[in-house]
Amino acid sequence: MFFAWLKRYMPRSLYGRAALILIVPILVIQLVVGVAFLQRHFEGVTRQMTRNVALEVNFLADEVNASDPGRHEERARALGEPLALRTEFVRTAERAPSGTSDQRLFYDISGRVVIRTLRAEVPALRTVDLASDLRSVRMVLATRHGPMELSFRRGRVSASNPHQLLVLTLLTGVLMTFVAYRFLRNQLRPIKRLARAAEGFGKGHTVPFSPSGATEVRAAGNAFLDMRARIERQIEQRTMMLSGVSHDLRTPLTRLKLGLAMMDDPEAEALIRDVDEMEALLDAFLDFARGDATEEMTPTDPAALAREVVEAACRGGQQVTLAVEDAGGEGPQPAMRPLAVSRALTNLVSNAVRYGSRARVTLTVLGKSVRFTVEDDGPGIPDDRREEAMKPFARLDASRNQNRGSGVGLGLAIAADVARNHGGALRLGQSEELGGLKAELVIARHRTSRRS
């Protein structure tokens, strides 16, 4: 239970956890050295120094008690000066101490040892005062000539710098922690660069990366570069193969279409429509398989891109409108693959006008993303089937209007793939104003990057 509670407050990052692993042992060592060693050591030193002074105080008290009345003050001064003990007899009742209460400051830890040792070693001791003057010890002894007040330097019973070693240890620990912190940061920096490169490649843009750091980190970096190169080669080879297949298939389709156009047969028009549909399906397959692997990220004006798509749809006789909103997205133009985004937006608009009578495109420029929203007045897609609708070759004919033809089921899949490759997502919902489907194509704003 305790560890589960503690786990919620532990750092999540590798850097934070490594720093915690480094700092906690140092703090524990400091506490152990400060409490278990330093305090006990200086308590022993204070006790030994106090015992030496107690011997001198007992000697002085015995000599004063043995002196004749009238000469006890002179005798006390004569013996106290060589011993560095200042003596004075309390003559008036106002100055006479009452009780046996000792005085010391609450943070004076060594003073507690001084008082305890003096109490044990000096039988005639009545009071000890360590609070009136921090640099001296004042004590009152009971003699046969009356109370005698003694005072001497505090440094004779306790070290003047008892925590010097502790302070030195702390300063050294702080210095070593700083050095280890700098070294740890240098060791973790290659891991962070590797994580950024992997995250960027997963979002569709290549971040320049060179393996560095420890041997294991270099090995992981080289493995990542090899993996990235293999994936890029496979995508390039797939694209070239599909381009060749497309070219080879277009030639016989073109001959077939030309031959059907020259035929004087009423059924030829239906066959020509079938050939056109085959060409459209072929283009859709090629767009989905090619993706945006061959296109570079370039700064693009999203408003101009959306305007071109809407104008193209309007030229085709479709009822599509455009609205541009700026929600604090000032700054340089976002880096994206314009052809891929245009293709995805065109697919969303085509789906909207295919299953509805009108569509509206809304562009919202945010600080960290660009959002293209396409809404229509069609039947929409049920909540429980929206994830299925974004899968390749999925056609929800039962819930969509088929009066304007059926697609191949790749429009939403292509748009979702383009969004993921730009670090964004495709979200489907219901339009509140038009009542049909609302598709939000979210594109993350990236800096322009180049392929390495």
pTM above 0.85, yes or no: no
Contact between 436 and 401 (Cβ < 8 Å): no
Rounded to the nearest 10 degrees, what angle do helices 411-421 and 268-290 cross at?
20
Contact between 369 and 424 (Cβ < 8 Å): yes
**Contacts with 239 (C-beta within 8 Å, 6 or more apart), sequence order:** 289, 290, 293, 294
* Residues 353 and 383 occupy one common structural domain: yes
Looking at every residue in the chain, the average pLDDT score rounds to: 81
CATH code for the domain of 127: 3.30.450.300
Query: Any idea what the Cα angle at residue 298 is, between residues 293 and 303, rounded to 5°?
Result: 110
* Residues 440 and 306 occupy one common structural domain: yes
Decide which of 241, 257, 290 is a domain's last residue. 290
Please list the helix, strand and coil fractions of the chain in percent, rounded to the nearest 5, in that order.
55, 15, 30
Under the banding of pLDDT at 50, 70 and 90, the label for residue 200 is confident
Considering Cα of 13, then 19, then 22, then 27, what sign does the dihedral take? negative
Predicted pLDDT at 61? 93
Spell 235-258 as b/e; 16+ CB within 10 A means b: beeebeebeeebeeeeeeeeeebe
Residue 452 has pLDDT above 50, yes or no: no
Q: What is the CA radius of gyration of the chain?
A: 45
Predicted pLDDT at 162? 55
Which of the residue ranges 89-93, 156-160, 425-429 would you say has the lowest mean pLDDT? 89-93
Predicted pLDDT at 128? 94
Which of these, 203, 253, 194, lies nearest to 224 by C-alpha position? Answer: 194
Which of the residue ranges 48-57, 185-194, 339-348, 441-450 would you say has the lowest mean pLDDT? 441-450
* Most trustworthy range by pLDDT among 37-41, 244-248, 356-360, 383-387: 356-360
Categorise residue 152: left if φ over 0, alpha if ψ from -120 to 50, beta otherwise: beta
Predicted pLDDT at 324? 86
Q: Compute the residue count for the chain.
A: 452
Under the banding of pLDDT at 50, 70 and 90, the label for residue 287 is low
Which of the residue ranges 107-121, 197-211, 416-430 would you say has the lowest mean pLDDT? 197-211
Residue 396 has pLDDT above 70, yes or no: no
CA gap 191, 210 in Å, rounded: 11
Domain containing residue 145: 10-156
pLDDT more than 70, % of the chain: 84
Under the banding of pLDDT at 50, 70 and 90, the label for residue 450 is very low
* Residues 105 and 32 occupy one common structural domain: yes
CA gap 122, 131 in Å, rounded: 20
Residue 212 has pLDDT above 90, yes or no: no
Predicted pLDDT at 401? 46
State the pairing for strand pair 359-365/320-326: parallel
Predicted pLDDT at 120? 94
* Residues 130 and 24 occupy one common structural domain: yes
Q: Is residue 194 part of a domain?
A: no
Predicted pLDDT at 106? 84
CATH code for the domain of 218: 1.10.287.130
Contact between 275 and 316 (Cβ < 8 Å): no
Which of these, 338, 325, 322, lies nearest to 365 by C-alpha position? Answer: 325
Under the banding of pLDDT at 50, 70 and 90, the label for residue 121 is very high
Residue 86 has pLDDT above 70, yes or no: yes
Contact between 355 and 401 (Cβ < 8 Å): yes
Predicted pLDDT at 119? 94
* Residues 210 and 131 occupy one common structural domain: no
Q: Is residue 65 part of a domain?
A: yes
Residue owning tokens 């390039």: 236
Predicted pLDDT at 94? 46
Q: Give the burial class of 204: count Cβ atoms within 10 A of its Cβ; 0-12 exposed, 13-18 middle, 19 or more buried.
A: buried
Predicted pLDDT at 63? 93
CA gap 410, 407 in Å, rounded: 8
Under the banding of pLDDT at 50, 70 and 90, the label for residue 383 is confident
CA gap 170, 33 in Å, rounded: 10
* Residues 232 and 333 occupy one common structural domain: no
Under the banding of pLDDT at 50, 70 and 90, the label for residue 288 is low
Q: Is residue 14 part of a domain?
A: yes
Under the banding of pLDDT at 50, 70 and 90, the label for residue 53 is very high
Decide which of 260, 290, 320 is a domain's last residue. 290
Residue 211 has pLDDT above 90, yes or no: no
Residue 160 has pLDDT above 70, yes or no: no
Q: Is residue 433 part of a domain?
A: yes
Under the banding of pLDDT at 50, 70 and 90, the label for residue 448 is very low
Name the domain count of the chain. 3
Predicted pLDDT at 100? 57
* Residues 23 and 53 occupy one common structural domain: yes
Decide which of 156, 185, 210 is a domain's last residue. 156
Categorise residue 81: left if φ over 0, alpha if ψ from -120 to 50, beta otherwise: alpha
State pLDDT tens for residues 355-374.
888 899 999 888 888 999 99
Residue 131 has pLDDT above 70, yes or no: yes
Q: Is residue 168 part of a domain?
A: no
Which of the residue ranges 44-48, 378-382, 390-394 would you say has the lowest mean pLDDT? 390-394
Predicted pLDDT at 82? 92
In 23-166, the DSSP E strands lie at 86-89, 125-129, 136-143, 146-153
CATH code for the domain of 377: 3.30.565.10
Predicted pLDDT at 366? 85
Q: Is residue 268 part of a domain?
A: yes
**Which whole number is the average pLDDT over 188-203?**
82
* Residues 122 and 246 occupy one common structural domain: no
Which of the residue ranges 88-102, 123-137, 231-245, 266-280 would you say has the lowest mean pLDDT? 88-102
* Residues 264 and 249 occupy one common structural domain: yes
* Residues 348 and 416 occupy one common structural domain: yes
Residue 294 has pLDDT above 70, yes or no: no
* Residues 14 and 128 occupy one common structural domain: yes
Q: Is residue 45 part of a domain?
A: yes
Q: Is residue 421 part of a domain?
A: yes
CA gap 422, 340 in Å, rounded: 10
Instruction: Please spell the DSSP secondary structure of 182-246, one letter per residue.
Output: HHHHHHHHHHHHHHHHHHHHHTT-PPP----SSHHHHHHHHHHHHHHHHHHHHHHHHHHHHHHHH
Which of the residue ranges 128-132, 283-287, 432-436 would you say has the lowest mean pLDDT? 283-287
* Residues 17 and 136 occupy one common structural domain: yes
